[in-house]
Amino acid sequence: MRCRYLPYQQWFTQLALIFLIAPSAIYAQENPETLTDEISSIIQKYCVDCHGPEESQAQLNLQSLSRDLPLVKHRRTWLTIVDRVVGGEMPPDDAPQLSEDERDQLTSFLSDSIERFDYEAIKNPGFESIRRLTSRELEFTLGDLFGVSVDVASKFPVDLSGTSGFDNSANTLFIQPQLLDRYISAADEAIRVALSDYPESAEQKASFDRFFHTKPKGDQEESETASKLISTFLPRAYRRPVTQAEMDTLLTRYKKARESGKSFNESMRLAVKLALISPNFIMHIGETPADSKPMRVSSIELANRLSYFLWASMPDNELLQLAASGKLHDNATLMKQVDRMIDDPRAQTLGTVFASQWLGFEDLGTRIRLDPIDNPWCTESLMTAMREETAMFFVSLITDDRSVSELISADYTFMNEELASHYRIEGVKGIEMRRVSTAENVRGGVLSHGSVLAITSFPYRTSPVIRGRWILTDLLGTPPPPPPPGADEIDEEIAFDEGLTAREKLELHSDSPRCASCHKQIDPLGFGLENFDFFGRYRTRNRRQVIDSKGQLPDGTVFRGADGLKEAIVTHRHDDLVHQVIRKMLSYSLGRQLEYYDEAAIIRIGKALEANEFRMKTLIKQIVLSYPFQYKQHQTEN
């Protein structure tokens, strides 16, 4: 086994390689589902003319897709094809049509190949590519490294979200050349705040004293003191044991500064800066397997995976010491650490980072905001409280070890006076956010949170389509098929008919055969939330008309209003909700998008959850114990 740690002199070479070569997905070739001659013939006869190598409408080449086995690698695409064929949308009316037998044969084969695939036959834990810290991880890590708040995330460009939906995904965390100056500036800012000879606050003075805990008594002791300080600092900065050569690199920088006439403290700061712009600090760098076989991650890598999962920051001393002693791979010890870390305030990032990106409410106040001149009530403090409500609520589900279903059905939330006033709830005073019972009102569960309701609306008006699609796609992980061309356009005669309610207009639009199949899934869910306006305030009328919040699920279940919608989801879509929570949290914990072979771990985690009343701490612990979290496999080519 060979460790892949990068000396500083290879930094710019590695930056160029990481920038130019995007991490690719790895796919195992075990257990392929080969298309039969009959199925291949049907696809060739009816589909390839429009979706083939010469003409790939909708960027879909079924000839190449059908060869990329197993079919579950492109599960969503194949299921969309099945939906289109069953709904009569493919092939189009002006093209040769499948016979009833051919249609049944094609859809049955595709559905069976995907739904009956044996995931347990695939033993592939995936590979965590080298990736940089996100800007928030960088800020949190600097804060924990020095014990002082350092504002650097705002100086970086916004990190893009990968297909996982999270900004910590390896397939988007490239190093662009323009980031180099930002890293240097971040290092300068951290040193200015944490190691200044003239600290401006008690927090800064404590940080200075922690670093310069050993002071030289004379010129002869300076080199020895510098070595002690570096040997204490560097393993924490690199989040692993360091080599003598790595310490010597910083000592050399220190000595050159001293020889140039700089003070002891200034020379040490320059050595620290060298560490803070090293790839060993700003990158997640683990061990590379020696061959293509799965290997268990080292104790130190497990510590890093765990801390960046639960804290979005570096491991603390206790975690590093357990890793160094080899005890962290003991499951009992590991589970105690999970409990300890969940109880730590740093676990709030599971709400402010994980939940905010999954549910989308991080956009409130940034991408989604109202003109403060026309809407003086929509203050920065209100939008902050709305985001905090959902973040604190999600974390409470974990710390209180509640059931996954309470994400939807909880009878409490978090408010301060301003947010309570926005919701027209009395009895909440002060600026502090606190837990409030909602047993006597319509609040409770994320579907009634103002943050979610605002991000799923248009400015100044609600959108049952956006809200319904958000429920299906983000909350339940069962997105409807993409709309056909022109499906978003409502006929002008309908759109400008002032005698129709918004619901009636949408229902008329949805009567179109090409739109009906999707809107029957989407719209009823959104209608269930129509009593909430575009910024989450409850109402019973809109433009003097009584709001109709009745909805119906595809299976015929009828519900009314938000409470009925919550009950319908918990009763009839609970499995989808659980599956989505597992998928999202596993992807976030691994720092990569999930692949088809991760489904085996998802199934196992789901069974463990079911056996323990779907409790959130069980979810966290089962992810930490899972095969993809504990193992890795060398990246291979398709």
State mean pLDDT over 530-558: 91
pLDDT in tens, 396-407: 999 999 999 999
- Residue 425 confidence (pLDDT) above 50: yes
At residue 16, the pLDDT reads: 40
Residues whose CB is less than 8 angstroms from the CB of residue 158 and which lie 6 or more positions away in sequence, other chains included: 135
pLDDT of residue 2 exceeding 80, the answer is no
Q: Give the residue-averaged pLDDT of 338-362.
A: 98
Helix ranges, 591-638 (H): 599-611, 616-625, 627-630
pLDDT band at 418 (very low <50, low <70, confident <90, very high): very high
Is the pLDDT confidence value at 351 over 80?
yes
Give the pLDDT score at 265: 96
pLDDT in tens, 479-516: 987 766 555 555 544 554 555 666 665 565 555 655 66
Summarised one tens digit per residue, pLDDT across range 26-46 is: 333 344 457 888 888 999 889
Domain boundaries along the sequence of the chain: 8-21+135-157+174-284, 37-117, 355-571
- Rounded Cα–Cα distance for residues 349 and 355 (Å): 8
**In contact, 521 and 539? CB cutoff 8 Å:** no
Residue 7: predicted pLDDT: 41
Q: Give the single-character DSSP code of 67.
A: T
User: H/E element holding 219?
Assistant: helix 219-238
The pLDDT value recorded for residue 504 is: 60
Kindly give the residue spans of alpha helices, DSSP state H, lying in 118-217: 135-146, 179-194, 202-211
| Distance in angstroms (rounded) separating the CA atoms of residues 67 and 46 | 17
Cβ–Cβ < 8 Å for 532, 562: yes
Q: Does 15 have pLDDT greater than 80?
A: no
pLDDT at 307 over 90: yes
What is the predicted pLDDT for the residue at 604? 97
Rounded to whole angstroms, how far apart are CA atoms 531 and 516? 24
- What span, in angstroms and rounded, lies between the C-alpha atoms of 322 and 337? 10
DSSP tag of 612: T
pLDDT in tens, 114-139: 888 999 888 899 887 789 999 999 99
Q: What is the pLDDT of residues 50-97, one digit of tens each?
A: 898 888 787 888 888 988 889 999 988 898 889 888 878 788 888 889
Check if the beta carbon of residue 365 is closer than 8 Å to that of residue 381: no
pLDDT at 5 over 60: no
